[in-house]
Amino acid sequence: MKRNLYRTLSTGVFLSILILFLTIPGVMAEPMPKRIVFGANPPGSLFYVMAAGLAKVIGTHTPMKVEIFPQGGTVWYPMLDSKEVDFGINVPGDILSAYKGEAIYDKPTRGKGFYLRTLMLGSPLKVGFLVPGDSDIASTKDIRGKRVPVDYGAFYSSTLTVQALLANAGLTAKDVKGLNVTTYPAGVRALIERRSDLALGSVGSGITNELKTARGARYLDLDLSPEAIARMQQVHPGYYPIQAKPGPAGPGQGHDGPGQGYHAGCRQASFRRCGLPYHQGFMGEL
């Protein structure tokens, strides 16, 4: 099932890239590049797995070689402008902030944002707060005052997602003992090493499976009340409740194993630098 998902996503982005090279004026006249650089998250993240799958598909079916650049968007968004990176994958909330020059992207772009265009929207990415299997935290009502990674440095997409999950619980970073980490996998690693009480987790990522092996793992359900969902979507409208069905892709809800519950969902998007007008970019795709 998961293999089919990755194959579908890789094929879709591959076709998008191929169509881009074959149809855009100016690109048609140039030979297909021998090497392209793809921005993604570090090993242990779901985006890295997707980027690796894409690299394999493109490398198998074209002369192009894909090099994965495993850094946060804050690092490689500017590299799209300098043409050191050709494409990337991230969540719409992060992309939107980068495009509009808001939040963490205000200062480096002087409020102008980066020029980006969506190539493809992928399947929903299921995320939520993750706790060890033996944790006494039963729901998001229990997380006030707990140790939680809230600042992911260059990985603003993770920082933004934590803000949305806290907002769903009626909290902000000031209501927990916030930790600073360097990457999304580092946040879950803090949980494995008992330096945090809960952390952001995405279903199916390698690092969450490490937690499951080391300490057991389960996700905390979202608050599905209209007020809680509205608070979450105030952080960014791209977040919404999504039901997680039982399966082997990751830890379950309420117990140490595959289960069913509600996570926050957001669609990942593959994109490239582009000078399209605002209304023609990814905005209409969210």
In CATH, what is the architecture of 125-267? 3-Layer(aba) Sandwich (3.40)
Sequence-distant (≥ 6) Cβ neighbours of residue 141 within 8 angstroms:
169
pLDDT tens readout for residues 112-165: 998 888 877 777 778 899 999 999 999 999 999 999 999 998 888 899 999 999
Measured torsion, CA atoms of residues 26, 28, 29, 30, in degrees rounded to the nearest 10: 90
**In angstroms, rounded to a whole number, what is the distance separating the alpha carbons of residues 245 and 235?**
26
Q: Between 3.40.50.2000, 3.30.470.20, 3.40.190.10, 3.40.50.10800, what CATH number should domain 2-123+268-285 receive?
A: 3.40.190.10
Tell me if 189 sits within 8 A of 134, measured CB to CB. no
pLDDT tens readout for residues 12-21: 555 555 545 5
Instruction: Locate all alpha helices (DSSP H) within 193-276, ordered by sequence.
Output: 206-215, 226-235
| 2-123+268-285 and 125-267: identical CATH topology | yes
Q: Side-chain half-sphere of 158: how many Cα atoms within 13 Å?
A: 33
- Orientation of helix 226-235 relative to helix 156-168, angle to 10°: 160
Mean pLDDT of the chain: 78
How do the domains of the chain map onto residue ranges? Answer: 2-123+268-285, 125-267
Angle (nearest 5°) at CA 50 between 243 and 91: 60
pLDDT-wise least confident of 1-10, 45-54, 199-208, 254-263:
254-263
- Run of H or E residues at 93: helix 92-100
With 60 as the cut, is the pLDDT of residue 171 above it? yes
Burial call 247-274: b when 16+ CB within 10 Å, e when fewer: eebbbbbeeeebbebbbbbbbbbbbbbb
Tell me if 284 sits within 8 A of 99, measured CB to CB. no
